[in-house]
Amino acid sequence: MRLFLFAYTCCLVTLNVFAQSNNPDVPKSGNNIKAFIPKGWKILSQSKGDLNKDNLPDEAIVIENTNPKNIIANAEGRMGGDTLNINPRMLIVLFKTSNNIYSLAAKNIAFIPTQNDTVSTCLADPFQDSEGVFI
């Protein structure tokens, strides 16, 4: 019974670690844009504009996980490329404050689709077909 509980606990911890890597914590405030980019993620698109009408340049950023485990082989016989990038993407909206600090206004892990899809493997990346994010 102890062995079962130990194995069960290990599985839960492992699943939790993998879940965190695809939906990382983003700080509530930071001195610059880089402070909001989790380790293992990269910026895909970035735009400045005054979103909250305070005459300060706010930021909208789209980032993507760079985990190589999320670059998978496309099933043989399926349309599309040989590999599929199913790394999650995140939209981050930052408001600049009067003391030159950025504060997290919003984040969404589901709004921007992944580059590829395991179901519709032949579809082009909808995000790259556009001009990215802009304000």
Euclidean distance between CA atoms 69 and 135, whole angstroms:
33
Strand partners, 39: none
- Helical H segments across the chain, by residue range: 2-22
φ, ψ dihedrals at 32, nearest 5°: -150, 175
Q: What is the mean pLDDT of residues 95-115?
A: 95
Backbone phi and psi for residue 92, each to the nearest 5 degrees, phi listed first: -125, 130
Per residue in 13-35, pLDDT (tens digit) is 444 444 446 789 999 999 999 99
8 A C-beta contact, residue 48 and residue 59: yes
Average pLDDT of the chain?
83
Q: What is the pLDDT of residue 134?
A: 74
pLDDT at res. 129? 66
